[in-house]
Each structure stands twice: as C-alpha cells, then as structure tokens.
Amino acid sequence: MTRPGDVRLAVELGVDAIGLVFAPGSPRRLDATRAVSLRQAIPPLVHAVALFMDNPGSEVEALVKQVKPDLLQFHGSESDAFCRGFGLPFVKVLAMGGGNTDAAGLRKRYPSASAFLLDGHAPGQPGGSGERFDWSHVPPLGKPVFLAGGLKPGNVGEAIRAARPFAVDVSSGIESAPGIKDGGRMQQFVEEVKRADRSNPG
C-alpha cells in the first residue's frame, strides 16, 4: 500500500497484514519517509510486511531500522543466510509462472523461512503483476503457504477452495492504478475471503 487512507480501511476491514514495497523499479516502491508514515497507521496485532527483491543488504538493514516491520518478504534470488540476517522472521516467494514448481528445492534452500508465498509471475519478474497460476498445483512445503498472483474479488473464493492456503495476498486485483487501492474492491475482496473461510472452515 502507498496511502495511509488505504491502510486504515484495510485495518478496519480486518486484514492480518499490510505490505510495504521496497523492490527496485516497482511503481509501488516507497521511500523511507513515506514508509514510516504508513507504518504509523498500522496498529499493534496487524503485521507490517516489508517486501524486497534483490535489494542490497545495507538498504534492507537501514529500512528495517527506520520502518520497523514485523515480517520481511523476499521476491528475488536472495539466499537463506541473507534473508535471515536482519533478525526478523521472513517469507520467501516462489514464482510459479512459466511452469516453475521446484517446491522440493525451495524447501531445502530456505530452512529458515517462516512461510512461503506462491506467486503467479515468472522467476526473475516483479510481483504485483496480476498473473495467476494453476491453484490445483500447490506443492507441499511443510510451512504455511500464502497464495498470491492474479487474485481479485471474483476469484479469491475459488482460489481458497482449490489451494486451501494459510493466507491470501492481493495487490493489483484491488487497485484502480498501481499503488492506488480501490476501497470498494478491497471491501469486496475481504468479504469474499470471509465467505470462503466460513464455508471451508479449518
């Protein structure tokens, strides 16, 4: 998210986490000052997640100090040692696009990850692209799996029923333009997630 009002609405709707993007070249990339002001809009018990994609270690370290996220999310080719080097739990992303399903390799390469996020874009490409993958192909990863990629109000229920993820993550599917969340779509998305959870408990 890039605007405090979007953060406040998401919190009111009951989301578990808010993503702050620091990936180079992203249209949603925040500078430290803006990120700190968004961070201040995230109350206790809602997680602030900082997203990176092959950022230099010194930059990650500085942003962690200034923004104080709860969780880090790595979208690039960072190693396990790099990801765990900031003293915070982390999520490693597996790009599922282009038929990439090397789940066993991922599990082995990232023993320190707290969770894995399966995204629809191809390896090496940025997230937030609205690309989905085949949700019936969610590999066993032995840790909580977050599902992302092309989710929107009209398909998130189907995705939850197919993949039964621990969490879902959405970006472009609730936007009117990159970084600009649409309040109505955000509300619809959360309602559909709650509906799917009610009909598929556990």
Ligand X SMILES: O=C(O)c1ccccc1NCC(=O)[C@H](O)[C@H](O)COP(=O)(O)O
Sites of contact with ligand X (CB under 6 A):
19, 21, 23, 26, 28, 51, 53, 75, 119-120, 126-130, 148-151, 169-173
Closest distance of CB 31 from ligand X, Å: 15
Give the nearest distance from C-beta 39 to ligand X in angstroms.
17
- Which CB sits closer to ligand X, 9 or 108? 9
Q: Name the pairing type of β-strands 17-21 and 71-74.
A: unpaired
What's the closest the beta carbon of residue 200 comes to ligand X, in angstroms?
21
108 vs 166 by CB, closer to ligand X? 166
Nearer to ligand X by Cβ, of 108 and 184: the residue is: 184
Long-range contacts of 178-183 (CB under 8 A, 24+ apart): 178/27, 178/28, 178/128, 179/1, 179/2, 179/3, 179/27, 179/28, 180/2, 180/3, 180/6, 181/1, 181/3, 181/6, 181/9, 181/10, 183/6, 183/9
What Cα–Cα distance (Å) separates residue 16 from each residue in 137, 171, 195?
25, 14, 16
Report the residue number, 56 or 108, with the smaller CB distance to ligand X: 56
Smallest distance, Å, CB 163 to ligand X? 14
